[in-house]
Amino acid sequence: MYGSVASIKIPQLVALLQSTHPNASIKVIATTHALHFFDRATVPVPVLTEDDEWSAWTKRSDPVLHIDLRNWADIMVVAPLDANTLAKLAGGLCDNLLTCILPCFMAPAMNTHMWNHPFTSKHLALVNQTSYKVIPPISKLLACGDLGMGAMAEIGTIVEHITEVMKKE
């Protein structure tokens, strides 16, 4: 998660994932900006941040959190995916804990003007050439008051996509 206002839905997403997949082990990776929109105490699973990445490693033989997470995860979901993180992932940038782990699903969430920006289309075209799966945003009244495309897909829709992959494994 990055600094999207849709980060307020993270506790709901985790709750639905836990009830739909009670045996799944879930971890949340959040940026400092994402934590502005929800209280990590409301999320009943580990919420990891960049600080955890750096505090876990003090010497050469210590574990590297982003590598451990990549090895641990069967499925990754970046929800919400803001325009900034989309650009980073499309460009192969790995400058924080979130972008150092290969995501499987992306659920874009951004203002309509950001969604319609030519660079967003280019970045989506790039990620669609990889193993990333984009769960398209929806059109509705956005948190900023605009009406249009760019709202994160409904939590249930995201969980349905995850469930389909989990059924295959």
The CA–CA distances, whole Å, from 118 to 80, 113, 131, 133 equal 20, 10, 22, 20
Catalytic machinery residues: 66, 144
Q: How far apart are CA 163 and CA 79, in angstroms?
A: 15
Is 77:107 a contact under the CB 8 Å cutoff? Answer: yes
Nearest in space to 79 (alpha carbons), one of 124, 141, 136, 129: 136
Phi/psi for 116 (5° steps) reads: -85, 0
Burial class (CB in 10 A: 0-12, 13-18, 19+), 122: exposed
